[in-house]
Amino acid sequence: GGSSRISVTSLISASAQGKKAVDALAGQSAKLLNGIPIDEEDFFGRQLAFNMLPLLPDSEGSVREERRIVDEVRKILQDEGLMIS
């Protein structure tokens, strides 16, 4: 009797995208804290500061990071048929 289905939430930091992302996030934060609107055309294309953004799916309707997590969980639990959302 192991698990038949699990749900996973993964939150990835802006810093995972490198220094340009960190600089853009810092810039957004500084502007918002000073009452200045952010430029929607910056690194993220929308507000990330004080927010969370979903990863956008590829042409197959999934996100590479999500597929990686699903594969890792199935490998760790040794259950290739485990349903994960």
One-letter amino acid of 37:
P
Report residue 10: phi and psi, to 5°. Answer: -120, 125
Q: What CATH number corresponds to the domain at position 69?
A: 3.30.360.10
Range of the domain at 11: 5-84
H helix or E strand, kind and range, residue 32: helix 19-33
Helix (H, G, I), strand (E, B) or coil at 35: coil
DSSP state of 36: P
pLDDT in tens, 63-79: 788 888 888 988 988 88
How far, in Å, CA of 13 to CA of 44, rounded? 13
| CB within 8 Å of 80: residues ≥ 6 apart | 74
Domain count, the chain: 1
What does pTM read for this prediction? Answer: 0.65
Evaluate if residue 1 carries a pLDDT over 70.
no
- The reported pLDDT for the residue numbered 30 is 97
- The reported pLDDT for the residue numbered 23 is 96
